[in-house]
Structure 1
Amino acid sequence: MLSDDWTAWVRENLERGCTPDSLVRAMLAEHIDGDEVALAVANALAGIDGARSATGPCWPDRFALRLANHATVGDRQVSVVARLERPAAVLLDNVLSHQECDYLIALSTQQMRPSTVVSPDSGELATIEARSSEGAWFTRGHDETIAAIESRLAALMQVPVDHGEGLQVLHYRAGGEYRPHYDYFPPEQPGSVPHLARGGQRTASLIMYLNSPDAGGETIFPLAGASFVPRRGSALYFAYCDGRGGLDSSSLHGGAPVAAGEKWIATKWVRQQPYR
């Protein structure tokens, strides 16, 4: 069990504005057990500014692939390759065709900009050392191909198309990584306010792999001791916000460094309400 000193340290640092993922990284570096880290952060968040922690895995009620191993989505047969119970996550095969993967890479190549994160204090976007990639954003329905992909993803995740943010394509060169972080907006941070106002909390993410790196580049869940190897056309779905607004701290995840070659992914985030 985590000592009282560490428990107090977690709460004190959350109250002064540190991000949950920064505290998790610091505790893991001290070789503290991952389950104890997740529980300590979740319990602390539950007592700060009304934030609530999820008590169980955040599987959406209508998400068929929580249990089913196959689903027909439009003209594609999507299959489950691997599944985690907590965080609620499934690795899916055949989500995108190879032609769609190539199209998204080609479409993005001339529009790349350094990737950013949300400032916890101001809500503005900023570059950080922990995220070494470049990306391109596309509005919903940018063109016929993207609109078709978004319709398929909405059917797959069982959420309306207008609950999704615009598609983001990301490129990692050799050595590029995204250190462990959360995709949801920490409700205790002032910088989250303007983002939560545009459609509520993020509830789930879908990472689509547009190529197969030669080595490395796995999507990792350090608190679950799990990693998923990118494979062209496959996708990783994971959910982290339950019906009460509770957030699952075990959804801490990252992109491991690309050891050889390069990595291309496309990400779709979905919200509680229509996204503006």
Structure 2
Amino acid sequence: MGQTQQITPQLRQWIVDQAQAGNSAESVLQAMLASGWQEDVAIEAMETTLRGHLEQRAAEQGLPPAVPVPEPHLDDAPLYVDAGDRKVCVLQSMYNPRVVVFGDLLSDQECEQLIEFARPRMARSLTVQTKTGGEEVNQDRTSQGMFFARGENELIARIEARIARLVNWPVENGEGVQVLRYVPGAEYKPHYDYFDPNEPGTPTILRRGGQRVGTLIMYLAEPEKGGGTSFPDVHLEVAPKRGNGVFFSYDRAHPSTKSLHGGAPVLSGEKWIATKWLRERRFE
């Protein structure tokens, strides 16, 4: 068929039928190649067809449309990712929900410096007040915290550039780094990081940079017991290992992303973390 191969409606329907029958993407691709389809044409047909099919199903269920999200380059299942000034380990990768656990994301010195700079500015953590777009004390979140302005100092600018390289998302689309301290008994009950489209304060919040589409939690100090990051929908808990981080993204503001997560109670010792939220657009 050479250069004249066309992605026809019949081919798209066949791909959808194969997916609905439970056939893997790899087996469908191999069947197309065996039938004489060029690899680039076959891959494009699969990607566009399945993406369109999923969006159609989502729309039928009343879900908001999906948007682009940050995504590390993990197609070749690398053990390490080049984050510019540092090689970062890939410890775990999950696709539904999209969760990646990174090792050696921060050095011990960087963890200590973040805590040192943040400690004098700590106060009771607040959450976004979705009714108004403001902030409020929330009984579900019993930590202390503070925010660094984006690029506030050399340390913050270096870490933000590393994160941007790691997850392929512009520095300017990130909120400021937030540092949080959890003492024994402190926790953050399961929640979503995106802003609920049905809340009256959400339009005000979105004017500053659109929806949140990704979160990176970096562990700065380990508790003796407890304090893991949990994803209840998939029964996953990430241990708060110093220097490591857990990244997750959510392409629509809906529970179907399975991005429900929480900070389990600290049972002994203190947990310090740094959180970076990523927005659709430049965050102002």
Give the TM interval when normalised to the shorter protein: 0.7 to 0.9
Q: TM-score, normalised by structure 1?
A: 0.77
Question: Alpha-carbon deviation of 1:46?
Answer: 5.3
Instruction: Give the distance between the partners of 2:70 and 2:113, measured in 1 at CA.
Output: 33
In the alignment, which residue of structure 2 is the partner of 1:26? Answer: none
Secondary structure of the residue that 1:95 maps to in structure 2? coil
Aligned residues of 2:146 and 2:178 also touching (Cα < 8 A): yes
**RCO greater where, 1 or 2, for CA within 8 Å and sep 6 or more?**
1
How many residues matched?
227
Uncovered stretches (5+) of structure 2, i.e. residues with no partner: 1-57
Aligned residues of 1:53 and 1:247 also touching (Cα < 8 A): no
Question: Alpha-carbon deviation of 1:72?
Answer: 1.6
Aligned-pair Cα RMSD in Å:
2.3
In the alignment, which residue of structure 1 is the partner of 2:195? Answer: 185
Equivalent runs, 1:224-243 vs 2, <5 Å: 224-241=234-251
Question: Alpha-carbon deviation of 1:164?
Answer: 0.6
Q: Is 2:68 aligned against 1:52?
A: no
Instruction: Give the distance between the partners of 2:180 and 2:258, measured in 1 at CA.
Output: 24
From 199, 215, 221, give the equivalent of 1:211.
221
Percent of pairs identical after alignment? 43
In the alignment, which residue of structure 2 is the partner of 1:145? Answer: 155
In the alignment, which residue of structure 2 is the partner of 1:271? Answer: 279
Aligned residues of 2:69 and 2:213 also touching (Cα < 8 A): no
Question: Alpha-carbon deviation of 1:235?
Answer: 0.4
Equivalent runs, 1:1-276 vs 2, <5 Å: 47=62, 52=64, 60=69, 63-65=72-74, 67-241=77-251, 248-276=256-284
Taking structure 1 as reference, are residues 178 and 187 closer, same or farther at Cα in structure 2, changes over 3 Å only? Answer: same
Provide Cα deviations, 1:101-126, integer angstroms capped at 9, x if missing partner: 00000101110111111222112211
Question: Alpha-carbon deviation of 1:75?
Answer: 2.6
Taking structure 1 as reference, are residues 247 and 275 closer, same or farther at Cα in structure 2, changes over 3 Å only? Answer: farther
Provide Cα deviations, 1:75-113, integer angstroms capped at 9, x if missing partner: 311111122221100110011000000000010111011
Taking structure 1 as reference, are residues 61 and 181 closer, same or farther at Cα in structure 2, changes over 3 Å only? Answer: closer
Aligned residues of 2:69 and 2:250 also touching (Cα < 8 A): no
Instruction: Give the distance between the partners of 2:65 and 2:82, measured in 1 at CA.
Output: 33
Question: Alpha-carbon deviation of 1:159?
Answer: 0.7
Question: Alpha-carbon deviation of 1:204?
Answer: 0.3
Instruction: Give the distance between the partners of 1:120 and 1:161, measured in 2 at CA.
Output: 25
In the alignment, which residue of structure 2 is the partner of 1:39? Answer: none
Aligned residues of 2:70 and 2:168 also touching (Cα < 8 A): no
Instruction: Give the distance between the partners of 1:46 and 1:132, measured in 2 at CA.
Output: 35
Question: Alpha-carbon deviation of 1:65?
Answer: 3.1
Q: 4+ residue runs of structure 1 moved beyond 4 angstroms?
A: 43-46, 58-62, 245-248
Taking structure 1 as reference, are residues 97 and 45 closer, same or farther at Cα in structure 2, changes over 3 Å only? Answer: farther
Aligned residues of 1:208 and 1:266 also touching (Cα < 8 A): yes
Taking structure 1 as reference, are residues 68 and 167 closer, same or farther at Cα in structure 2, changes over 3 Å only? Answer: same
Taking structure 1 as reference, are residues 178 and 44 closer, same or farther at Cα in structure 2, changes over 3 Å only? Answer: farther
**Bigger radius of gyration:** 2
